[in-house]
């Protein structure tokens, strides 16, 4: 391929401004593709993180209790079956499940949770909450609640509670104040506000009151039990498949964040499809640009192609000279475009802000994205060059020299 | 007598074959060129000189007849075989120099070697440098074709045609675009290589002055050879 490479690169160099312009065009197109891909991934990850708040990637709950229809003597089912009320129950054998899931493939962290309805009271103000009993060190590994603490700390001794900023405001409490926690099954007791969190959403900041797991078990009448086992997953977007695999192995209900937030998933899917279309059409424009420039180049270099053919260059060699030009334009545009795209992601990551003033997304360096971009763009350039290359290879040398 | 490099028998060429506008431009050409010959092909415009040169140079296919290149039938060979034969056996010099503008004079002369070996080798570089020195361009090795005069470009083209020591150089009006003095220089150069390297030359020319200095003059008229004789001293 020495001959082909040398001639291809010389032809491109000889192209001068024409070559620079097509590489610039390819770079621009690919930098937008890289930017959209990186930006979308980072944005979706951050959006999910913000929207889900303290929701885990996967949640394992006791399977729903189902009322089975009675059958009469003839074996016929009774026509009307009343759906059974779902009482708060513990995940059966949750300690064994936790031990099995700890360190399992694709699972980053496991946290048992005892959660149920409760009431938080201060003076004559009552607010309904989800009373959530956790083991802090396990829970933060799943939800990173510790990063959301804005006052106090996430330390849950018996008698401690951590609540959200809005709930604290509604109750008029601050760190060290006492509140009463009660549930339908327990008159409850007084607890001291040990920490205050801010999940960035008002309804979430009013929803949860965190206590130590044994406290919640006592208040919710779940002695030694947990209402769910929450899992953090390695691949957020692979949670659905992992949940399905897990569902096949355990006799519990396994739900991914995607299933629990189907509207969010639909929105994200639509966003992905739209950006996929944008990326596809950008790639198409790049390919058409490369093909156009190479077709012009074939016309401009008709005489040179004729000379090379007359001197002993085969059709195959001429074909490869132009294919390599396409591949080189694609590869160099991809390298430059990846760099520009990453820079653009960094800049936009600093410019775009959420309502609370924090960056809307955090730009991440994704080597596989750039590797796939370079490979993809090289193949794209190669494919775009097929038509011009075939045209060049088909030139009749005798006619080409006469041009 | 040395063996024939090219041996054409009853060669015919028809354009637009099989159509109502078919026209036969070469009518049964018999021609052979042997090693070390210095022949020219003359004839008026439209007599079929360039077509015959293209056929000999394997750039076009004959419509009929037989063509042996170094004893091997080549008239039915496929494109790859003909391309290989061009690289190994023939050298070309065109009227308008036809150097590759993206390459220096030295690289232009090294291109046939690049085609054969897939890389620029030190040996090719040495050979090309010697050839360019032999054509008087030892100090213009790294100049681009656009930086050279017409005569200099034609010298580079001759050096390039000789780079792989071909058996036969086909030159189509190599001096047609040059002034008389430069044309004489270029012609003498070809004569010198013919004498020193025993390379055969077949030169198409309109210039009777130059034709008179060739060893053999082949005259073509209306697609037929009407004269083929050694130069009369």
Nearest Cα residue to A308 out of A319, A323, A324:
A319
Query: How far is residue B163's CA from residue B114's CA, in Å, rounded to a whole number?
Result: 11
Q: What is the mean pLDDT of chain B?
A: 88
Per-residue model confidence (pLDDT) at position A228: 93
Range B200-218 average pLDDT:
89
Of A110-119, A157-166, A168-177, B1-10, which gets the smallest average pLDDT? B1-10
Work out the percent of chain B whose per-residue pLDDT is above 70.
98
Q: In this complex, how many residue pairs, one in chain A and one in chain B, have their CB atoms less than 8 Å apart?
A: 68
Helices (H), ranges, A220-314:
239-247, 257-260, 262-300, 302-311
Residue B233 confidence (pLDDT) above 60: no
Per-residue model confidence (pLDDT) at position A378: 93
Helix, strand or coil for residue A141? Answer: helix
Of A1, A3, A315, the CB nearest to B115: A3
Distance (Å) from the C-alpha of residue B55 to the closest C-alpha of chain A? 9
Q: Is A381 within 8 Å of A290 (Cβ atoms)?
A: yes
B-chain CB neighbours of A6 within 8 Å are 114, 120
Q: Do A310 and B88 touch (CB under 8 A)?
A: no
Range B15-28 average pLDDT:
89
Q: Do A304 and B100 touch (CB under 8 A)?
A: yes
Range B118-133 average pLDDT:
90
**For residue A177, what pLDDT band results from cuts at 50, 70 and 90?**
very high
**For residue A315, what pLDDT band results from cuts at 50, 70 and 90?**
very high
Q: Do B83 and A1 touch (CB under 8 A)?
A: no
* Distance spanning both ends of chain A, measured CA to CA: 28
What lies within 8 Å, CB to CB, of B148 at 6+ separation is B105, B137, B140, B156
Range A56-85 average pLDDT:
79
Query: How far is residue A223's CA from residue A215's CA, in Å, rounded to a whole number?
Result: 10
Query: In terms of pTM, does the model score above 0.90?
Result: no
Q: What is the largest CA-CA distance in chain B?
A: 56
**B87–chain A Cβ distance below 8 A for any pair:** yes
Range A131-158 average pLDDT:
91
Per-residue model confidence (pLDDT) at position A53: 62
pLDDT in tens, A2-34: 899 999 999 999 889 999 999 999 999 999 998
Work out the percent of chain A whose per-residue pLDDT is above 90.
52
Query: How far is residue A150's CA from residue A136's CA, in Å, rounded to a whole number?
Result: 16
Q: Do B101 and A310 touch (CB under 8 A)?
A: no
Judging by DSSP bridges, how do beta strands A186-197 and A178-183 pair with one another? antiparallel
Q: Is B166 within 8 Å of B134 (Cβ atoms)?
A: no
Q: Do A307 and B87 touch (CB under 8 A)?
A: no
Of B83, B98, B120, the CB nearest to A312: B83
Query: How far is residue B36's CA from residue B199's CA, in Å, rounded to a whole number?
Result: 5
Residue in chain A lying closest to B84 (CA): A312
**For residue B97, what pLDDT band results from cuts at 50, 70 and 90?**
low
Of B54, B112, B120, the CB nearest to A311: B112
**For residue A208, what pLDDT band results from cuts at 50, 70 and 90?**
very high
Per-residue model confidence (pLDDT) at position A210: 96
ipTM exceeding cut-off 0.85 for this assembly: yes
Of B54, B60, B114, the CB nearest to A2: B114
Query: How far is residue B85's CA from residue B77's CA, in Å, rounded to a whole number?
Result: 10
Residue B137 confidence (pLDDT) above 60: yes
**For residue B182, what pLDDT band results from cuts at 50, 70 and 90?**
confident
**A89–chain B Cβ distance below 8 A for any pair:** no
Q: Count CA atoms within 13 Å of residue A303 on its CB side.
A: 12
**B100–chain A Cβ distance below 8 A for any pair:** yes
Of B59, B101, B118, the CB nearest to A14: B101
Q: What is the mean pLDDT of chain A?
A: 88
Q: Do B86 and A6 touch (CB under 8 A)?
A: no
Residue in chain B lying closest to A316 (CA): B80
**For residue A84, what pLDDT band results from cuts at 50, 70 and 90?**
confident
Per-residue model confidence (pLDDT) at position B98: 79
Helix, strand or coil for residue B138? Answer: coil
More confident residue, A216 or A402: A216
**A403–chain B Cβ distance below 8 A for any pair:** no
Query: How far is residue B179's CA from residue B72's CA, in Å, rounded to a whole number?
Result: 40
More confident residue, A327 or A89: A327
Per-residue model confidence (pLDDT) at position A387: 94
Suggest the residue from B55, B77, B86 to mutate for an interface test with chain A (most A CBs closer than 10 A).
Answer: B86
A-chain CB neighbours of B112 within 8 Å are 311-312
Q: Is A195 within 8 Å of A147 (Cβ atoms)?
A: no
Per-residue model confidence (pLDDT) at position A185: 87
Residue B25 confidence (pLDDT) above 80: yes
**For residue B136, what pLDDT band results from cuts at 50, 70 and 90?**
confident
Residue in chain A lying closest to B98 (CA): A307
**For residue A173, what pLDDT band results from cuts at 50, 70 and 90?**
very high
**A304–chain B Cβ distance below 8 A for any pair:** yes
| Number of neighbours of residue A84 by Cβ within 10 angstroms | 11
Q: Do A6 and B115 touch (CB under 8 A)?
A: no
Distance (Å) from the C-alpha of residue A21 to the closest C-alpha of chain B? 19
Token pair of B208 as six digits? 């009777």
* Highest mean pLDDT (candidates A236-250, A310-324, B186-200): A310-324
Per-residue model confidence (pLDDT) at position B17: 84
**B88–chain A Cβ distance below 8 A for any pair:** yes
**B118–chain A Cβ distance below 8 A for any pair:** yes
Range A106-121 average pLDDT:
93
Which chain A residues in 14-73 lie under 8 Å from chain B, judged by CB atoms? 14
Q: Count CA atoms within 13 Å of residue B64 on its CB side.
A: 11
């Amino acid at each position: 391929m020495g001959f082909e490479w040398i001639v291809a690169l010389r032809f491109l160099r000889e192209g001068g401004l024409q070559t620079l312009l097509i590489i610039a065009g390819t770079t621009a197109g690919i930098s937008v593709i890289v930017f959209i891909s990186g930006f979308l991934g980072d944005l979706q990850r951050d959006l999910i993180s913000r929207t889900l708040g303290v929701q885990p990637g996967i949640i394992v709950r006791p399977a729903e209790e189902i009322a089975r229809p009675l059958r009469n003597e003839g074996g016929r089912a009774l026509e009307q079956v009343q759906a059974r009320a779902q009482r708060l129950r513990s995940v059966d054998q949750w300690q064994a499940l936790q031990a099995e899931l700890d360190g399992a493939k694709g699972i980053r962290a496991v946290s048992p949770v005892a959660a149920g309805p409760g009431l938080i009271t201060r003076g004559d103000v009552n607010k309904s909450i989800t009373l959530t009993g956790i083991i802090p060190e396990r829970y933060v590994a799943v939800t990173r609640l510790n990063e959301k603490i804005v006052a106090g700390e996430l330390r849950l001794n018996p008698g401690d509670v951590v609540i959200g900023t809005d709930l604290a405001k509604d109750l008029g409490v601050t760190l060290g104040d006492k509140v009463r926690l009660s549930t339908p099954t327990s008159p409850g007791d007084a607890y001291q506000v040990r920490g205050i969190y801010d999940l960035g959403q008002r309804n979430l900041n009013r929803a949860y009151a965190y206590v130590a797991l044994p406290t919640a078990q006592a208040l919710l009448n779940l002695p030694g039990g947990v209402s769910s086992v929450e899992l953090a997953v390695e691949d957020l977007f692979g949670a659905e498949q992992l949940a399905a695999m897990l569902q096949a192995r355990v006799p519990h209900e396994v739900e991914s964040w995607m299933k629990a937030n189907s509207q969010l998933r639909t929105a994200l899917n639509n966003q992905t499809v739209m950006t996929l279309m944008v990326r596809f059409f950008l790639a198409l424009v790049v390919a058409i640009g490369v093909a156009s420039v190479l077709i012009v180049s074939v016309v401009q270099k008709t005489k040179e192609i004729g000379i090379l053919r007359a001197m002993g260059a085969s059709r195959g060699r001429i074909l490869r000279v132009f294919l390599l030009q396409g591949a080189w334009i694609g590869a160099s545009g991809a390298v430059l475009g990846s760099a520009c795209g990453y820079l653009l992601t960094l800049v936009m990551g600093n410019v775009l802000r959420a309502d609370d003033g924090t960056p809307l997304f955090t730009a991440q360096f994704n080597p596989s994205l750039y590797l796939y971009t370079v490979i993809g763009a090289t193949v794209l350039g190669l494919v775009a060059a097929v038509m011009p290359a075939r045209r060049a290879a088909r030139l009749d040398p005798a006619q080409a020299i006469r041009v | 007598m040395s063996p024939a490099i090219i041996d054409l028998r009853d060669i015919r060429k028809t354009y637009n074959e099989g159509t109502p506008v078919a026209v036969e431009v070469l009518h049964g050409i018999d021609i052979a060129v042997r090693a070390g010959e210095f022949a020219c092909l003359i004839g008026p415009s439209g007599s079929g000189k360039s077509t015959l040169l293209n056929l000999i140079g394997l750039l076009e296919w004959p419509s009929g007849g037989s063509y042996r290149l170094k004893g091997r039938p080549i008239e039915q060979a496929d494109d790859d075989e003909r391309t290989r034969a061009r690289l190994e056996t023939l050298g070309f010099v065109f009227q308008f120099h036809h150097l590759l503008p993206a390459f220096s004079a030295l690289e232009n002369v090294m291109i046939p070697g690049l085609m054969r070996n897939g890389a620029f080798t030190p040996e090719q570089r040495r050979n090309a440098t010697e050839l360019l020195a032999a054509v008087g361009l030892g100090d213009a090795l790294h100049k681009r074709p656009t930086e050279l005069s017409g005569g200099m470009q034609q010298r580079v083209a001759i050096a390039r045609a000789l780079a792989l020591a071909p058996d036969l150089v086909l030159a189509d009006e190599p001096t047609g675009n040059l002034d008389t003095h430069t044309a004489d220089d270029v012609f003498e150069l070809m004569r010198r290589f013919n004498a020193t390297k025993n390379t055969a030359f077949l030169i198409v020319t309109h210039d009777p002055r130059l034709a008179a200095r060739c060893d053999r003059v082949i005259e073509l008229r209306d697609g037929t050879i009407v004269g083929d004789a050694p130069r009369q001293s």
